[in-house]
Amino acid sequence: MSFKFNNTTYTIVYNGKLYNSKDIRNDLINKGLKFDGFTDEEIVLKAFIHYGHTIFKNFNGVFSFAIYDPNKKELILCRDHFGIKPLYYTILNNTLVFSTEIKSILKYPGVETKIDKNSICELFGIGPAHTPGTSVFKNIYEIKPAHYAIFNQYGFNSYMYWKLESHEHKDNFETTCNNVKNILEDSIQKQLVSDTSICAMLSGGLDSSIIVAYASKYLEKENLPKLKTLSVDYVDNDKNFIQSDFQPNSDNYYIDIVKNKFNTNHTAILLDTPDLAHSLKEAMCARDYPGMADVDSSMLLFCNKIKDYSSVALSGECSDEIFAGYPWFFRDDALNSKTFPWSIAILERQNLLNSEISKNIDLKNYIDFRYSESINNVEFYDSDTENTKQKRIISYLTINWFMQTLLDRADKMSLQSGLELRVPFCDYRLVQYMWNVPWEFKAYKGREKGLLRHIVKDLLPDEIVNRKKSPYPKTHNPTYLYTVKNMLTEIINNNNSPINYLLNKEYILNILDTNGKSFVRPWFGQLMTGPQLMAYLCQVNMWLEIYNPTIQI
């Protein structure tokens, strides 16, 4: 969209959704600006013309955009507070090439697909996460979350427009609960505004149930049709379910409680296990690099089904990161690990590489560097105790690394399906407020998400409020293990498979022979164990085959 102001024509290319567009628009009208419509593009462009870069921090939403300012002969790139919407770039012969997808940058004449030592470290040391600001491709970068960049005659320079600020939390427990409740409810209501049909993912867990509860109440108050909800499960999961510390029970019982309590228009989606393996390639291509294996492909398949019922869906993503829902917030071994607590199998990751590659690449050194680089950015408050500092570090890492990986997955799998996915918990106002809430409040009664549970104790049934955290549904059908095992075996036994240039074949064969049990610890997160490692390595090989990068080590 272009707009002429004071004889200068400004142009914007925009991707995303503003949830406070009405507030921004009304403010600009009061300042004397006129509008032709209600599009985000017009609001963002005119807000920039009036306020400049200072307005970016006030945008509440998910966005990436580029604005050309002909007066200054410069291009401005900007990305939302948590990088929910991607924005990649490269500079080639003093030309800035940018896009929301890496694959389109690779189409630009002269852009080469290359990987180097850092790429290998990202793939095998950090993956399926990635270092903010980088990509797995050499010389292709991303605008960091909460940053904007200016490209002009002086070059390319990036600036932070927002960050988590540490200060003393002065609100008592009751006031804290009320403030969190008000921000959360406002965020959900803002994200219910849509020109098309909207629905909510429902797992029967605390987070999705909160969204369903608040959304249902709002729609009822506005005399709007009742909320559509959708859940996901797998064929024969009831027969194959195995209880564990991370997944103590299945979802269906709790889903029934919530859908009946709030009278939702519910649909249960059933996926078949073989489809998870068959969708690994499409999921990888949606990201443009290897991802979370079947955790990605299951989201892709679920979003494909949701699209048959609605164009916009609400998800409970980001609650665990903000309200301390993961085990590593509470475990001393994780808190004191001096590395990313969701990815502590560093030696095992190094063993994946063959001896020649390992001579040149030390994954631990790279991981240590990225870890130290990150925690050096944590802002402490003068009165922070050692325990508070420790919790700030783990919260900062979780928000800026683990949450980013899940947000990237959610955005790219949903868009691959043509679905718009919204994440009300990932409101920068809520994240900023919770950042300074004392640990004894956040982990009220010693529980994960204790504060959040207390806030909704009168909103949700007790069984939901007290339900132990259960992650995104995964298949428990053993055929998935056998399928990805066979896929990887075929890859390893094929001398032409590009991944064999990188891998330690004997170590991989041992993993295959033991069905992944020789790789004892979860290699990423909570549920990514042997089968997911095999699937990830399959994705790496698919990626090498499809993108065919030149390897420079």
pLDDT in tens, 397-429: 999 999 999 999 999 999 999 999 999 999 999
Looking at residue 518, its pLDDT comes to 75
DSSP-derived pairing of the beta strands 155-160 and 265-271: unpaired
CA distance 255 to 249: 12
Q: Are 502 and 448 a contacting pair, CB within 8 Å?
A: no
- For the segment 479-498, the average pLDDT, to the nearest whole number, is 94
Question: Which amino acid is located at 438 in the chain?
Answer: P
CA distance 460 to 458: 6
Q: Are 540 and 123 a contacting pair, CB within 8 Å?
A: yes
Q: Are 194 and 222 a contacting pair, CB within 8 Å?
A: no
Token pair of 181, please?
Answer: 């409740």
**Is the alpha carbon torsion for 182, 183, 185, 186 positive or negative?**
positive
Q: Are 70 and 62 a contacting pair, CB within 8 Å?
A: no
pLDDT (tens digit per residue) in 146-183: 999 999 999 999 999 999 999 999 999 999 999 999 99
List 78's β-bridge partners, or say none: 65, 148
Question: Per-residue confidence at 70, pLDDT binned at 50, 70, 90?
Answer: very high
User: Cα-Cα-Cα-Cα dihedral of 339, 344, 348, 352, to 10°?
Assistant: -70
How big is the chain, counted in residues?
A: 553
In this predicted structure, the answer to whether residue 241 has a pLDDT above a threshold of 70 is no
> Nearest to residue 430, comparing CAs of 322, 280, 312?
322
Rg for the chain (alpha carbons), in Å? 23
Question: Per-residue confidence at 519, pLDDT binned at 50, 70, 90?
Answer: confident
Looking at residue 244, its pLDDT comes to 56
Looking at residue 167, its pLDDT comes to 94
Residue 213 to residues 62, 226, 309, 313, 420, Cα–Cα distance (Å): 23, 11, 20, 15, 21
- All structural domains of the chain, each given as residue ranges with its CATH number in brackets, are 2-160 (3.60.20.10), 173-376+386-465 (3.40.50.620), 478-551 (no CATH)
> Judging by beta carbons within 10 Å of its beta carbon (0-12, 13-18, 19+), is residue 195 exposed, middle or buried?
exposed
- For the segment 118-139, the average pLDDT, to the nearest whole number, is 97
Q: How high is the mean pLDDT of the chain? A: 94
Name every residue whose Cβ is closer than 8 Å to that of residue 324 and which is 6 or more positions away in sequence: 330, 391, 395, 439, 442, 443, 448, 449
- For the segment 134-139, the average pLDDT, to the nearest whole number, is 97
Looking at residue 249, its pLDDT comes to 63
> Judging by beta carbons within 10 Å of its beta carbon (0-12, 13-18, 19+), is residue 540 exposed, middle or buried?
buried
In this predicted structure, the answer to whether residue 245 has a pLDDT above a threshold of 70 is no
DSSP string computed for 270-289:
EE-HHHHHHTHHHHHHHHTS
